[in-house]
Structure 1
Amino acid sequence: MQFLSDNAAPVHPSVWEAMRRADATDAPYDNDALSQSLDAAFSDLFGRECAVVWISTGTAANCLALATLVPPYGGVVCHDDAHIEQDEAGAPEFFTHGAKLMLAHGPHAKLTPQNVAAVIDPIRDDVHRVQPTAIAITQATEQGCVYAPGEIAGLVDYARSKGLKVHMDGARFGNAVAHLNCTPADAGPAHGIDTLSFGMIKNGGMGAEALVLFNPASAAEAKRRHKRAGQLQSKGRYLAAQLLAMLKDDLWLANARNANDAAARIAAAAGSRLLHPCEANEVFLRLSVAESERLRQQGFGFYDWGVGAARFVTAWNTDADDAERLAQAIAAL
């Protein structure tokens, strides 16, 4: 019973079928009919004009977005638990050719205008100091929490007052939208973010993420960087097919809802063991070494998350009975 990661989940059958249908002769790179339809498909989803670049990994999507927004001598404010800080092996600095990550602190891996200000206000405006250029937030956060629309609007307003761009890491954007029960735009784009890495792989895709640029004029630069980074695949229609399959009939949202429902069942049984509110598809619990071993002996796979803690992640295909078994096992500890 696998709760290690939503990356461990299989590819949704609809995605496989879409790739099979795309297995025909068409123009190479991103000139095929499917790739050329992405801008319109995502513009319809968000209710505003945008440009979309398919990318093979979430790390590349985040880092190419930042490289498009931030000069090599600039700074990116992010939470100290952000994926771009903890799990991307210096890729943001590599892709931006040297931009500095500026780390903020706050509960549940969320940024606020106040904790961003604590980082940037002491920075002198002179040539001796790296100047902030952008803010990067994660929806849902690395601790499984979701920014409400008002929180995003407040952050974007603050960023604009400081002349900063805003990138949203949406590796679990679908789970955030499912939790908020709002439109996709209200979960971020409607409030003025500049770029979004729309995660599909964790949510049933195979190997395609969407870099969404809400200033279409920046697409040309993003596409040049996309090529230079080795991301421009010669048979791009297979990546575009995955993204379009996930959008069709809101499959991405249905998948996210299934994952969230399973996580909520587990969290409900955890009681005071919960380390963070469960608002998406990740459950963080206090567990002793002995308790973790007891759960593993019962067949549950999960990651230890520091000393005395564990992380359980549900996925689009998490079986309700497996989630119930885990909930009962946690309650019985």
Structure 2
Amino acid sequence: MSRLTNYLFLGVILTTIALPLAVQAYDVNTLKLAYSEQNQPRIYDAKIEAIKAATISAQTSGRIINIHFDVNDLVPQGASLLEITNKEQGAGFAGAEAELAKAEALNTEAQAQYARYKALFPKGAISKGAMDEATAKAKSSKQAVSAAQAQLIQAKESLNYTVVSAPFSGRMTQRFVEQGETISYGQALFSGYDTQHLRAVFQVPQQDIAQLQQQAQVAIQLPNGNEITSGDINVYQFADPLTHQHQVRVNLNAADIEDIIVGQWIKVTVAFPSRKSLVVPLSAIHQVSDLTSVYRVSNDKIVLNQVRIGRIDTKTNTAEVLSGLMEGDEIVIDAGRYLINSSATKAQE
């Protein structure tokens, strides 16, 4: 059943669908149709998706000892997602610290010897060979300290990798591991998306691209009935090879996405140039099953006239007539009231 049933009276089609106006014992309010300028928005089905989404993988190996979050949990940025055994990484870190301490001690000795030789060399107390050896030793020991520091940083990072943290705040969508499993480098652990950065994605035909590129903003109808707008519109400059349609992405404002869920279907309304068309009030439309019609005045009778309805404006309670009526036609404004009254008149006769 069409959505017009929310507004229309559903009745039974009369056996006699043409009644003389003269026999009516009640007033019939009618409307004479005329063309008027009507906005012609295009409505597209769009899907909500995340702008930022990621799959977190292991950066070291070990056995999982703790998992702190599960699928559908909201995770704050930097929160610990899981912990891996760290004995091997801890031993590597301790060894790197020892190597750095050793390198710094040797460097201190080498720098002190170089300073003494440098002071004695001009006096002739130190040979040229000994001075060159002290210089080379001072430089190499200094570089050894830098290398040890780099090894310590690497070992510390490896130890930090045993605690997997959330790269951004968001909602977890998948968990690929269980507590107690042994994981290896590069293995997928979790997937999730950032709940504060969402967009609506939809497809448009080629003939609508030029109009979309001129839009300053589009209206988005949310599932809860609210309407928001966005001016962050990205129209793809290439078409899909299979559907030959262009994809459009509309980024949503963070303040407007509290009631929006990734994966939801929504409606995106794009304003197009207005055109002249015939509109009728929703109360004038009579619908039974697939038959949509209005009661039209024809000479001295009222006849049931089938019509094809286009866009429905729920704000003004009107509908665009695509076919079945012409300018100058006169129709009954309240089809439901007319149907009830005409049925009562027939019963009295």
User: Would the TM-score normalized by the shorter structure come out above 0.5?
Assistant: no
> Structure 1 length normalisation: TM-score?
0.21
Higher helix fraction (1 or 2)? 1
Higher gyration radius (CA) = 2
Q: TM-score, normalised by structure 2?
A: 0.20
